Amino acid sequence: MNRSKARAFTLVELLVVIGIIAILVGILLPALSKARRSAQTMQCLSNLRQCGAAFFMYANDHQWQLPFPNTTGPDGRQGLWYEVLDPYFQSMANTRRSGVAGEYTYTSYKQCPVVDSEFSLSGSNGNSDSSATGENQTTEYARSYKMNRYLMHFNGLNGGTSLGGSAAKITQVKDSSEFVLLGDGISMDDVGYYTSGTAGQIDNGQFAMDPNFQPIFSVGSISPGNESPPSLRHGGGCNILFVDGHAENVLLPTMTRILNPPGKTVKTWQPEYIDVTGKPVYLNVVTGRGVTYSSLLTADSQGLLRNPNMPLHWSELGKITMYVGSGN
């Protein structure tokens, strides 16, 4: 009985096999990377919808008032969206921690999974870390979801130059399916880890976002402040939760913006308004008076036009009064 002798691979055959494997890996890796990014986009949209449900439950418990988008409300942090939604996520603040870190929970529902996975936020001095007393100034400081800063009233107290305002109501918002409530804002994936005193990185920690601020440090005596612009982290688009509760990935024309110069330069969306020549108009400088706060600023009185490259609604000038100037 003849037995076939085992034949070893030749060097050429081995190289051919290695070459085929390398080609397959080259084909599969981009596909896997694309699938991963797509899954993160879907998870982010799911997070935003859950945030939307929490917003509606909060509004239902407060005569349809929305929480405040930032800390410029009449009572500072009281009523801030990032904190008041926690009970609706069935989460509690860690009272062992000090300062603002003891006032809110650190949950994945309030973080984009792109940022969460890239910087391992869930395990970095988060809410479950009993040894962490204050807020971690690298990973925990970042807030990737940010609320539309124009969803509140500013009352123009003390001649229009002092803090003070009241909550906006869902029932006041027209075109709720196009009116931005919450979404992707600038965070560490855009500007890197936060380090104290590093220009531009303060945008990490903002609770609100705004496409309408002047993308330079100051114009005359008016400073643009530190509000974060939208972040385009999902395939060049931004995930947005709208006031009617639906969330989607939105792709719009972009512009270059400087963050809190001399800080980072990023691509983000264009502002909401233009003038009759088509030039972008930034809401913090249209009055030209050098004031910090203004109430009942109307589009008609300023000759503003809707920017066709920004079909989403951020402000309701003259209806939901707007805030002008700096603030967190």
Tens-place pLDDT, residues 88-104: 887 766 666 666 666 67
User: What is the DSSP-derived secondary structure letter of residue 38?
Assistant: H
Calculate mean pLDDT across residues 319-328.
Answer: 46
Task: Provide the pLDDT confidence category of residue 115 given band limits of 50, 70 and 90.
Answer: confident
pLDDT tens by residue, 18-56? 888 888 777 776 766 667 788 999 999 999 999 999 999
**In the predicted model, is pLDDT for residue 197 greater than 60?**
no
**In the predicted model, is pLDDT for residue 120 greater than 80?**
no
Compare 315 and 47 and report the one with higher pLDDT.
47
| Least confident among 49-58, 269-278, 287-296 | 287-296
Compare 193 and 168 and report the one with higher pLDDT.
168
Q: Taking the complete model, does pTM exceed 0.85, yes or no?
A: no
CA 26 to chain centre: 34
The DSSP annotation for 198-261 comes to: -TTGGGGG-SEE-S-S-SSS-BTTB----PBPB--TBTTBEEEEETTS-EEEE---EEEEESSS
Q: How many CB atoms lie within 10 A of CB 271?
A: 23
**In the predicted model, is pLDDT for residue 231 greater than 60?**
yes
What percent of the chain shows pLDDT beyond 90?
24
| Least confident among 18-22, 129-133, 204-208, 270-274 | 129-133
Tokens of 295: 């109430």
What was the pLDDT predicted at 135? Answer: 63
